[in-house]
Amino acid sequence: MEPYKETVDAVVSEYNASLDDGLTEKKVEEKIKNNGKNKFDEASKESLAKKFFHSLTDFTTIILLVAAVISLYTAIATDHGDYFESFLIIAIVVINSVLAIVQEGNAEKALSALQDMNKQTATVIRNGKQEEIDAEDLVPGDTLLLESGSMITADARIAEASQLRVEESALTGESEPVMKDPEYQGEEDDSLGDRLNMLYKGSTVVNGRGKAIVTATGMKTEMGKIAGLLNSDETQKTPLQKRLNQLGKRISLIALAAAAFVFFIGQMQGEPMLDMFITAISLAVAAVPETLTVIVTLTLAFGVQKMAQKNAIIRRLPAVETLGSANVICSDKTGTLTQNKMRVRRVWTHGDSVVDTEEGMTDEAMEVLSIAALCTDVIVENDDNELEIKGNPTEAAIVRAVEENYHTKAELEEKYPRVGEIPFDSDRKMMTTVHKRGKKFISITKGAFDVLYPKFHYGDVDQAAIVNDRFGKKALRVIAVGYAIHEEEPKEITSEALEKNLRLMGLIGMIDPPRPESKAAIARAKKAGIKTVMITGDHVVTAGAIAKELGIMKSRKEAISGAQLQKMTDEELDDRVKDLSVYARVTPEDKIRIVKSWQRSGAVVAMTGDGVNDAPALKASDVGCAMGITGTDVAKGAADMVLTDDNFATIVDAVARGRSVYQGIRKAINFLLSCNISEIFIVVIAMLLGWGAPFTAVQLLFVNVVADGLPGFALGREPAEAGIMDEKPIPRDEGIFARGLWKKIGLNAAVFTVVTLIGFYIGAFVEHISYFTPPSLEVGQTVAFLVLAYSSILHVFNVRSSKSIFKVDLATNKSLAQMAWLALGITTAIALIPQTQELFYLVPISMNHWIIAILLSLVPIIVTELIKFHKAPEVDPENI
């Protein structure tokens, strides 16, 4: 059966459906058993073996493998037959690959968890009741209920429609929404875009309402057929990760060049070729930052995890980096800055008759509210004597006032049944419904007063204008209600036919109080150099009153209306954008203009949104933030981040975490590269001075993986430093090494180089340090190994903060202290245990050598502390 060629009755019969009652639970269970869940088949996942071999293609891994091969060759070519070094290099490669696979598995689990949190839903009729279910539970025959913003999650035949427009570009490529018609009779050669009586998975309702019968789910949908042809799932890398991969390659290439240089110098000095091979291997291994990308990935993953705990779900990893640079937040007012719990506070009917609903209700006020309640689409549920109203908050406030003071919406609808409607949309800012009223008909229009003003031809319109302004100054959202009486049922349910010559009935003033935490969050953002811009559909006076209360604006000059904005050219907007803080009565197109104007000024813009029409602005912004509670599936799909609590304060918290992640990555780079770069200098300088190789390859591998790796992994969990939101945003074009990071790394590397070379020289050449341990190359290597390993481990406490290590609480990152102690213990153990000494080419050294190694390893901390003390700013006692 081809549903688009059949009548509604034929489709209902074919799928054993019911438009009024829907399916029963028993039928649903049978259909799930026969058809399966409404989801796509998962692409075949890469096997563990394939993942493992894929991980070996990394550039730095190839260098290590080549080093292992050369090391193995030298072991075979010599008589000592010591294969430990080559086997250890291979073991390190395997461990790194396994860690990468485990991390990828954890990332897949985390992604799966996030997908579960953002599962799509569908509104259906089952067992005679309206229900919201997981889209995966849809089955053929289900009765779908549709409204503006609904994401179509299965293929369906339309049964009823009122001004139903659907955007199908995901399937057809046509960007213009299509007006649907349930009476359309399909032809054999109709393409998907021509089937006006059908809905397809992946499309979106942008206007109107409707009812449809599900005809296909999962892989049997048109989108599912396309999905069956595709099988790609690339892991997304952030721009920073890509830059760090490039950095790792460059450092490795520099190391290879230095290794070749040292090999050439050694040959010129007459050193044995195999010895030079071994030294070259050591140098190549020294500079490879084996753990850098892993630590950066862990830092990003930890940041995402922390954001999720704070109600911010990151959908695209680069957003974590971008958040740290955000310096403008364009926020919706309703539900984000305010509580999204509208309550009717004032009702005006005529003259000076204004009713304060907290003091009581008059018959005239109830009549205005009752008429307005008919022109709403909210759903009222009254289970266990608890009133729950689902739908638009403004409409919910009107209906709640009626339900609590007079009669139910159901009673009104039974008395005045709806026969037609023109749904609300964000461009018209009004809604109209037509009802049977005895033998006549009444059309009811509600919407913003300034939009409806020219349509009112009867009533006290001038007085209403004065009251509207008065309500607005009290931060009330004002809804105007008008009507027209028709002797017979209107033949055309259009704006042109019905939304004219209206009689003004009254004004309804509602308030959505600010969230208690919004004002503090805005002040926090301001202190952090972030400007908050309010964008709302409210009246400019109403928006301005809330903005002043929250501290977003100080002067009325900072607020403009959408009408004023539309008269401005892009150049004029660019000139004023930094002086404007409130935009009222704006369209979706206006939002995009605002975002792009800020971006042209060099700003990094975060934008909030919840509706279908917000999706373009969310995509245009640097960080799109969709609402998790009120947001449509389309808005969530376009966003980089989903706020599960719809709260402005969550955005500010996410910005702080973004800065913390950036700060943590810089610390990790400082920590790791200080050691890696020093290793190159130590080996090259020692060879140029003719001292011999200060390390073996296996010793350098140990330092890079254990002494650097273990504390480095824990460094990714470092909490943000105090005052991180007192700083200005990170410039969007700032390099990761900006603000003197290269200088810090260079200074640290220089100190490491000097103290390690001193330790090596003392152990290799200085007499009379110990009567029992004469100087030798092996003693020098052992002392150098201890100095470099201990210095590296202790250096992690240097990079934790710009403050003295004595002012930073170890308890704020217990895992860091634990990993540092573990690395120190392992390093000490292998230098003391005879069996491990042999494996790592270490020798027993005297107590004096141990003392020298420990004292030298403390020098980097002392130098860093002196620099911090010299640069420490003076503290104002009043700010303590």
- Residues with a known catalytic role: 332
H helices present in 332-362, as ranges:
none
Contacts of 151 (CB under 8 A, 6+ apart): 120, 204, 205, 632, 633, 634, 637
Identify which of 336, 332, 329, 360 has the alpha carbon closest to the alpha carbon of residue 347: 360
Cα angle 640, 165, 199 (rounded to 5 degrees) comes to 80
Contacts of 13 (CB under 8 A, 6+ apart): none
Six-digit token string for 403: 């339900």
Six-digit token string for 626: 């969709």
Identify which of 116, 122, 315 has the alpha carbon closest to the alpha carbon of residue 201: 122
CA distance 533 to 586: 13
Amino acid at 760: F
For residue 164, the surrounding DSSP H or E stretch is: strand 155-167
List beta partners, residue 535: 332, 583
CA distance 819 to 708: 10
Contacts of 671 (CB under 8 A, 6+ apart): 708, 711, 712, 715, 795, 796, 799
Main-chain phi, psi angles of 481, to 5 degrees: -125, 130
CA distance 565 to 558: 12
CA distance 484 to 486: 7
CA distance 834 to 843: 8
Contacts of 698 (CB under 8 A, 6+ apart): 84, 85, 88, 89, 839, 840, 841
User: What region, left, alpha or beta, does residue 316 occupy, with left being phi > 0 and alpha being psi -120 to 50 degrees?
Assistant: beta
Amino acid at 280: A
Query: Are 318 and 238 within 8 A, CB to CB?
Result: yes
Q: Which residues of 141-163 are buried (b: 16+ CB within 10 A; e: fewer)?
A: bbbbbbbbbbbbbbbbbbbebbb
As a residue count, the chain comes to 880
Q: Treating both helix axes as pointing N-terminal to C-terminal, what angle do 777-799 and 814-832 enclose, rounded to 10 degrees?
A: 180
CA distance 756 to 746: 15
How far is CA 462 from each of CA 149, 447, 458, 465, 467, rounded to the nearest angstrom?
A: 36, 17, 11, 5, 9
If one counts every other C-beta atom within 10 angstroms of the C-beta of residue 611, the result is: 23
β-pairing, 559-561 vs 343-350, is: unpaired
Contacts of 144 (CB under 8 A, 6+ apart): 122, 123, 124, 138, 154, 156, 199, 211, 212, 213, 214
β-pairing, 121-126 vs 129-134, is: antiparallel
Six-digit token string for 544: 């301005």
CA distance 766 to 717: 43
Query: Are 682 and 788 within 8 A, CB to CB?
Result: yes
Six-digit token string for 875: 């503290």
Question: Within the chain, what is the greatest distance between any pair of CA atoms?
Answer: 118
E strands, 224-314, in order: 312-314
CA distance 621 to 242: 22
Six-digit token string for 230: 């595709």
